[in-house]
Every structure is written in structure tokens, then in C-alpha cells.
Structure 1
Amino acid sequence: MSRRKLVLGVSALSALTLLATGCSAGPGSDASDKKTISIWTSMDQPVIDGLKAVLNPRAKAQGITVQWRKVDNLNQIIVQKVQAGDPPDIALMPQPGIIKDLATKGKVTPLDDVLDLPALKKSMTAGTLDVAQVNGKTYGLMVSMNVKGLVFYPKKAFEAAGYTAPKTMGELDALTEKIKADGETPWCLGIESSTATGWPATDWFENLILKYGGIDQYNDWISHKIKFDSPLVRKAAAQFQKIAFTEGNVLGGRKSIASNAFGTAGNPMFDKKPGCYMYQQGSFITGFFPKSVQQNLDAEVGVFGLPPVTAGGDNPVEGGGDTASIYQDSPAARKVMKLLAATDLGTTAAKNGSSFISPHKDFPLDAYPLKTTQSIAKVAYDSTGFAFDASDAMPSSVGSGSFWKDMTAWISGQQSLDDALKNIDASWPAG
């Protein structure tokens, strides 16, 4: 899940503290003699510890000391540090749009002559190497990935009822009807998230637009070449409406969706008599399941990806991740970037039982200790392409503004779909 969607700010004091404690080489340093490299990231600490355990000894063998720093609200801080002329050597950014923006200003080092891009293209999940490209040059390397558009289900009850994962969108509709015909409720759904209410609805739309339109049309939608009030977006809206608004499909009905907290909305799946049988969310959501479920995840939880429109057809996946870029170029920084590109970099991070998923499709699945994590990773590795979270790439007034707000208003019945789509289009910044 996008960090912007969960963490909306940082105190001014924290920002000032970070600005005062930079890890850069500083004015007057000789980049060719640099022996200490700073890496900033906002990843979870167990992931940092796992990556550090593998990378640091390899860097040390080349005479380089790597200093990792966990930095909250990195998207904001990195811009401030770049403007001050004191960025870290390397940062792992959760939003590649910021990397691309800084790259156009000449503040990020292109990696085309740093990394073996042809080899990485074969190794990495399709599309992950493209998330930070500008004018044909590559400015970022995804190091950690998360996956969206996942449908979680209560494994024991689901299998006991004879249900199986659908292979097409039509089969998903049929499964929904089958569960309902059996006298059960197919879906749990909630989009409440305090001041960020509505973002789970935008994730639904993003995933459906990606399935119906493919990556090229998805990207055209992100850039507003394709409007919200368009046949593609309306097709996604129709599928969402069929799932969410049809009588008997959602626990609590349509009226409950906007007030149902996303973090706990799926938990009724795990009641003795399941309150629902499917919940669509990102890979992070397992950390919100009841503790008893988390402690026995493989036995309690099953997962499949939202299916393609046609069997065996184009099947891209949406997700996010942390993308490494060089902000202070030096021979040492380039050597560390090569180390960050190793397929086995995440083996310890994966074994930590953390949220780490490698973007390398040749990463060994058995390195993930949980079958659930293996299944989530396989959804991405088997996909035909990877697309970054759309609302994070849109102007903030839309992506975390009108898109959230107007989807919530539509779902709660306060306005029509026509008005919602027109309002979002009208909110797009001029130029």
C-alpha cells in the first residue's frame, strides 16, 4: 500500500531535525575517495535490517561502509535535502514520481551505465524496471515490492464449500453469485480511513481499469489523456458497482461501505460462521487480520489476484515499492547500487517474516517462510506487467483529493456516478 495513503504528514520539528543531521559527504569532499555511503529509506525496520545484513558485508569487502537511516515522510524530506544541496548518497523512494521529477531537474544519476539493465530486465517482474524512467533513461531500481488487487479468503471455509479461485472476471462474478446462492455473503468491503477515507475505493478502480485497459491505457488515464468520464473508467465503475451495490453481495450492504474501516472490514471472514468469503486489498492487509489468524496465516488465509478479463489474456498487476536512486554520484555509490541489484539481496529480509517481497521474479519462492507470501509474490511474478499506484502518480489535488472524496460520495449515495466523474475531471490542475 502507498505510504502516502496511510501517513499524511510529519511534524515540523522532525523535518527540521532531519535537515540538520544529513549523512552526505558535505561540501569539499572528494567523491572519488568516498568510503562511506548513506542510504535513506522509509521501509519497515525488519526489512531494513534484513537488507543491511546482506548488503553491508558485501560493501565492506569493497572497502565501503554503508549507513542506513529510516526516515519517515521521505517523499517530502528528500526534496528539501536536494534543494539544500545535501541529499543522501542513495534513497529508496516509495513514490517514483518524485524520482522522475528530480531527474528532469538533473538531481538524480541515470543508471544506464551503472547497472546491467538487459540482465535485470530478464530477472525482474515485468514493468518494475520502468517505474522511474525519463526520456528513455532509467533513474531508479525497485528493491522491495508490494502487491495490490489481491482477494483474500477464509481458507478452511472457502475450500470446505468447494469454492476455487476464478480465472477470469466472469468467473469472479459467477463465484460471487454461487456464494450468495448458498445463503452466504460473498464480499466484505470498507473504505473508511480517517482523513484518508476513500483510498480503498480508488484502489478498486485502479485495479479494474488496469485489467480492462492494460498498462498503456492505465498510464494514459494517470496522465489524464483518458478522462475519468470515459468508457474505460465507466466500465471499471460498472464492475465495481455490480460487486458492491448488488443486494446481498456485501456484508452490511452498500450503506455500510463508507463507514466500515478498511483495516478491520475483512475480519468477519474469520468468524466461526464467516460473515463474508472475499476481501480485496493489498499485501499489507494481513498485518491487520486478527492476531489468532496472523499466528496461523497459512492455515487460515487463502489469496488470489483479481483475474484477467479473459483466460490467459493480458493480466497486469498493480502495486508499489521502494525504488533506489543515486542522489550524490560517486564510484562508491555506484558500487553500492550494483549490490542493491542482486537477486539474493532480500533473502534475509524475506526470512525475517517481514513485509518484504522481492521484485525479482527469479527470487526463490522458498525463501519466503510463509506459503501466503509465496502466493502473493507469485501473483506479481506471473503477471504480464507491473503498474504503480495510479492515485499516487496523479496530482495530489486529484489522487488524494477529489478521487478519494468523490468516490466516497458516490458509494455512500450522496451523488451520482456522472457527477463524481465530472467533478474529478474538473479538479484536474490546468496544464
Structure 2
Amino acid sequence: MRRTARAAVCCSVLVVLLAVLGGCRIPGTAGSVTVLGPWTGREQAEFTRALDEFTAQTGIRVDFQGTRALGEVLSSGLRDGTPPDVAVLPSIGDLPRYGDRLEPLDDVLDRGWTAEHSRQWQDLARVGGGPIRAVPVHVNLKSMIWFPPGVPPPSDAAELDELSRSLRESGMAPWCVGMSASATSGWPGTDWIEDLLLRQSGPEVYRQWIAGELPWTSPQVRQAWETWQRFAGSGQVRGGRIAALLTEFQDASRPMSADPPQCLLEHQGSFMAGVHAARGEPEADFARFPGFTPEHPDSAGTWEVSADVAGMFRDTPQARELIRFLVSRRAQEIWAAGEAFSANSAVPADAYRTPSGRRIAAVLTDGRDRLCLDGSDLMPSPMRDAFQRAVLEHLSDPTRLDALLHALDRIRAQLPKHQFTDRACGG
């Protein structure tokens, strides 16, 4: 009898505690969700903080696996019938690869999604048409030139050309460049060429190229490659072409903060803000990359962007809850505190710790400037891989441009039309 009474008292105390605590959840009591993502190291730590907040709010346990070989791991899981509930894909361009294996999200997302994301991001989430199958959880601004504080920002191509010339005359190579990135080496060069094509020929030509409709040997695409050759030519790149080929992309800007600096300009995405901060370097300034030759009138105020997107491979209540959380203001505020950038316009400016971070966030969210997705991210993987290799070959030997462009066209012609997407820009 004494044990029974003691048990009854304990149960009563537990009931009272649960009533007082209300929304507080015990991890795992509301089920679990498996998540596969492309991050390790610092990026994984940032994402894990957001997942911890999700568990605290919902009681849903999250089993997260981070890997740089996401495509291989995900494909294996799909073949075995054991995909993750949710996967974060490194680009919107990966969506056609998985097709209907990704669950539609239109009835998963709540009004917060439409209220807190510009029409452009809502459009870009429907790349390929049809229902939304993935949503941006981590975005980056591209079309950027980074430089140390105090350097006059070039406002147009003429000023950028003049700045480059004056640096060369002083004995300094203007550009910090690194192409090495393990299995994806060359992608920083693809960003240059995409940016130049968008600037010089406008969003419609950019769309045609990404859709596989515009040949690589076209005058517009050739012009972009030849313009990039001006940036990467003799005296332009710290250490020369070979150094650019061998330098890890995240290390390329280190000489910018040396004393004295060894290069002053870098064409790279907004994620470098976090890299600079992690290395304890002074906050760098940035300007929009203008490109060379007169800019196409339709490219005014246009920026290239990229996005990591979350999709749902198993439709469970826990997976639905996580998708809604990942695009919410609360989750995105946690990311912003770690130098990541959000497509959610409700994230307050002061969530970003630096003036340059707040400027980047404004471009990404205010809907004033037109946003176009990274072109190579949208290409079928054989085309993207060949593009990256061609960048490395061109940097190594610029005299072979004709052969490289014809080789890229042969690959384009071999790929089925349905593997390309015909939507590249929002708005």
C-alpha cells in the first residue's frame, strides 16, 4: 500500500509539472526525423544550433548526417529504400535529378512562407515548373567583388579597369584567385563566366544558355570567356595562372589581409564573410561586379545568387514540421548569427553582425533587385562537371578556347532536353 501511495504521489507531481511547463518538450517524445545535409565543420555546427532549437520547441529528435558526398549517400539511400526524411541539397539545380521522389511542399508551407519571402524566391522555388519541391534554407549573394576597407569601390567597368591598371603599375597583381575545390575544382571560374554573360548579354540570353538552347560557341558565350581571360591574364592574378589553379578557393583571399597586401580584389560569394570572420580578419567591403563592355540594359540591378534547399523525401508529420521550421524567422535568425544569409525578409537587420552583412541581406530579401540563380548549379551534372573542367583547362592554356567550347557543345547536344531548366531568374 505504501508503494502504491508513493507512486500515486509521483504521478500527481508529474502531471502538475507538465501542466506548469506547458510547451516544454522532452526530446524524442514527439517522434524523430532524419536529415541529410552537405555541411561539415563550422557550417554543420551552425545548422545543428538551429536543429537544437527545433527539438526544444517541438520535442522532435533530429538525427542529422553531414557529408560532402551528399549525392552519393542520397542516391544509395534511395536505391535501398532508406532515404532520409529531409535532405538539404546544395543547389536548386539538383531538383530534376530526384523528380517525383521529392514530396510536394505546397500544402506543407504555411502563410509565413509567402509573407516572409519575396515573390522572386517564391518563383525560384518553382524552377522547372509544377509544385514546390524544395525551399531555400541558406542562400548566398554572388556577383560580388570583395576588397579591403578603404579601397574606393568601383561603381562601373571603367572604374574597375582603372583600379586594376593602377594596381598593376604599382607592382601588385589586382586579383586574388583560387580554383581548387577537391572534386568540384573550377567552380569559382564558372561564377566569373556566368556573371559576365549575365552582365553583358542580359537575363534572357542567360536563360537560353542555361536551358541548353544557346550554344557554347555563340558570340555571347564566347565574349564572356574572352572577357574573363582579361581578368585572368598576365599580371592580373597573384602568383599567375598556376598559382590560381593550385590555390584552395577559401584561401585565395588570405593575401588581401597580409601586411603589405599582395592582391586587393576577389570575385567571390557572400559566404566569404564567414570565412573572413573565422580567420579573425578585418571586415572586407564589397561592390557589385560590373563586368566589362557596356552592360546590357536588362542587367541593371541584377545579381547572381545560389541556394541550399531543403526537400522532403518521406512525408511524415515530423518532416513537415521541420520544413516549416527551417524557413521560419526563428531558424533563420540562428543562421544569421553564424554569418550565414537568409532569404527570409522577416529576419531583422541586426541579426547580421556587420554592415556588409546587413547590406548583403538587404539585396537578398528586399525584392528590389532581380535575382538570377547560379547558372552552373542549374545545369545537368554532366554539363556542370564539363564546365568546371573547361575552366581549369582554359586557365592553364587560353589558346584552346575554340576546342573547349566545341567540346562543351557536344556534351550539351547529348543531354536530354528535360534535364535542363528554362527558369533562371526571379521576377
Partner of 1:74: 70
Shift of 1:367: 0.4
**Within the alignment, does 1:387 sit opposite 2:372 as a pair?**
yes
Are 1:345 and 2:359 matched, yes or no?
Answer: no
Q: Secondary structure at the match of 2:120?
A: coil
- 1:172-321 counterparts in 2 under 5 A? 172-180=160-168, 184-193=172-181, 196-245=184-233, 247-254=234-241, 256-285=243-272, 294-298=279-283, 301-307=284-290, 309=295, 313-321=299-307
Distance 2:248 2:54 in 1: 39
The C-alpha deviation readout for 1:217-264, integer Å capped at 9, x for no partner, is 33322232111111221221232122222x543333456533444333
Hey, what does 2:349 align to over in structure 1?
A: 365
Alignment coverage as a number of residue pairs:
379
Q: 1:152 pairs with 134, 146, 150, which one?
A: 146
User: 1:346: how far off?
Assistant: 1.8
**Counterpart Cα distance in 1 of 2:248 and 2:87:** 32
- Match for residue 5 of structure 2? none
Could you tell me which of 404, 407, 410 is aligned with 1:426? 410
Aligned partner (choices 94, 103, 113) of residue 90 of structure 2: 94
Which whole-Å deviations, capped at 9, do the CAs of 1:9-68 have from their partners, x for residues lacking one?
A: xxxxxxxxxxxxxxxxxxxxxxxx9843333323322222221243233333xxxx1414
Alignment partners' CA distance in 2, 1:357 and 1:78: 25
Per-residue deviation, 1:193:
4.2
Kindly state the Cα deviation for residue 143 of structure 1 after the two structures are TM-superposed.
0.9
User: Cα gap change, 1:385/1:57 in structure 2, threshold over 3 Å: closer, same or farther?
Assistant: farther
Q: What are the Cα deviations for residues 329-386 of structure 1, in whole angstroms up to 9, with x where unaligned?
A: 23443333222331232222322xx342112234222102233433443443466333
Name the residue aligned to 1:23: none
Contact 1:39 1:66 in 2 (8 A): no
Choose 1 or 2 for highest CA Rg: 2
CA separation in 2, counterparts of 1:190 and 1:335?
40
**5+ residue gaps in structure 1?**
1-32
Normalization by structure 2: what TM-score? 0.77
Distance in 1 separating the partners of 2:347 and 2:119 = 10
The answer for the alignment partner of 1:17 in structure 2 is: none
Give secondary structure in 2 for the equivalent of 1:92.
Answer: strand
Which residue matches 1:324? 310
| Change over 3 Å in CA distance of 1:341–1:396 after alignment to 2 | closer
Q: Is residue 141 of structure 2 the alignment partner of residue 143 of structure 1?
A: no
Q: 1:317 to 1:75 in 2, by over 3 A?
A: farther
**How far apart, CA to CA, are the structure 2 residues paired with 1:324 and 1:261?**
27
Counterpart contact for 1:50–1:350, Cα < 8 Å: no
Q: Does the aligned pair in 2 maintain the 1:100–1:133 contact within 8 Å? A: no
TM-score (norm 1): 0.76
Does the aligned pair in 2 maintain the 1:127–1:387 contact within 8 Å? no
d(CA) in 2 for partners of 1:86, 1:427 = 33
1:80, distance to aligned residue in structure 2 (A) = 2.5
Q: Which stretches in structure 2 are left out of the alignment for 5+ residues?
A: 1-28, 417-427
Residue type matched to 2:321 in 1?
K
Distance of 2:79 and 2:30 partners within structure 1: 22
1:416 partner letter: R
The alpha-carbon deviation at position 269 of structure 1 amounts to: 1.7
Q: Quote the sequence identity (%).
A: 26
